[in-house]
Amino acid sequence: MADVTIELGGRSFVIPPLTLRRVKVFIPTMARLQNVKAGEMTEANIDDATNAVLIGIQAGEPAFTKDMLLDMPVTLEELFSAVTAIGPQAGLKKVDGPPAEAAGTVSISPPSKANGTSASPTS
């Protein structure tokens, strides 16, 4: 799996594939963000997204701290785009749904055991 680069607050971060130690913290954090719509975000959702992004950043830059991330001029759009970009680094696959339902949500799922692709909840 190749590294991905995310952009936050005018800075680039290279995110390597996550280790199992990081995956086991990242996945439950992502689960709490499933289907969060932009207009329904809470402080807890933003905290979860921040923690998910921090897990990814620290995979490539272990000395990077949560305070450093919180002090950056990051938009919510950048934050949630970064979360979505980091998902595959944890072995998750992006799930495509109908555009009206998918707009403004975070939605990913683990690969299926059968073929290594993600399964849609409607499959």
Residue spans of the domains in the chain: they are: 4-109
pTM above 0.85, yes or no: no
Q: Compute the distance between CA of residue 35 and CA of residue 43 in angstroms, rounded to an integer.
A: 16
- For residue 103, what pLDDT band results from cuts at 50, 70 and 90? very low
Q: Return the CA Rg of the chain.
A: 14
Report how far residue 107's alpha carbon sits from residue 31's, in angstroms, rounded to the nearest whole number: 9
Question: 52 and 8 in contact (C-beta within 8 Å)?
Answer: no
Q: What is the crossing angle of helices 76-86 and 43-60, to 10°?
A: 50
Greater confidence, 92 or 99? 92
For residue 97, pLDDT over 90 is answered with no
Name the band, by pLDDT with cuts 50, 70 and 90, for residue 95: low
Mean pLDDT, the chain, integer: 83
The pLDDT tens digits for 48-74 are 999 999 999 999 999 999 999 999 999
Residue 113 pLDDT class (50, 70, 90 cuts):
very low
DSSP string covering 42-61, please?
A: -HHHHHHHHHHHHHHHHHH-
Give residue 123's pLDDT. 36
